[in-house]
């Protein structure tokens, strides 16, 4: 039977989104170097009152960066708690990337 290495990452987040992304990507790289084939990363976790300030389009800043890291590390990457804005509506979204970086 083949083995499969999955890593779960939950960050101590700050209110600076770019810092959270940098920290998450560093941990994803560390997990990939350790043999992970799939990483599930909780990127942003804020209360509902912060959604309007931190929300972005999917393929925005966060998902673009996660796509790049998935491709660079050649892993499956699940970004969880990405605050999405679409047509004026707000969502707590997840995005799954293949090892080639595609959503």
Domains of the chain: total: 1
- The per-residue pLDDT for range 3-38, each reduced to its tens digit, is 888 999 988 888 888 888 899 999 999 999 999 999
Q: Which domain holds residue 52?
A: 6-97
Domain contains 82:
yes
The rounded distance, in Å, linking the Cα atoms of 82 and 98 is 17
The encoded tokens of residue 69 equal 């890291």
Domain contains 102:
no
Domain contains 1:
no
pLDDT reported for residue 78 = 95
**Least confident residue range of 13-17, 54-58, 98-102:** 13-17
Domain contains 103:
no
Helix (H, G, I), strand (E, B) or coil at 46: coil
pLDDT reported for residue 46 = 65
Helix (H, G, I), strand (E, B) or coil at 43: coil
């Amino acid at each position: 039977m083949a083995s499969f290495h999955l890593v779960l990452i939950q960050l101590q987040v700050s209110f600076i989104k770019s810092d959270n992304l940098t920290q998450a990507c560093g941990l994803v790289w560390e997990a990939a170097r350790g043999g992970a084939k799939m990483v599930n990363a909780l990127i942003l976790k804020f209360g509902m009152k912060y959604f309007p300030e931190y929300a972005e389009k999917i393929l925005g800043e966060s998902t673009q960066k996660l796509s790049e890291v998935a491709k660079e590390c050649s892993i499956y990457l699940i970004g969880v708690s990405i605050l999405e804005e679409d047509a004026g509506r707000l969502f707590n979204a997840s995005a799954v990337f293949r090892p080639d970086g595609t959503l």
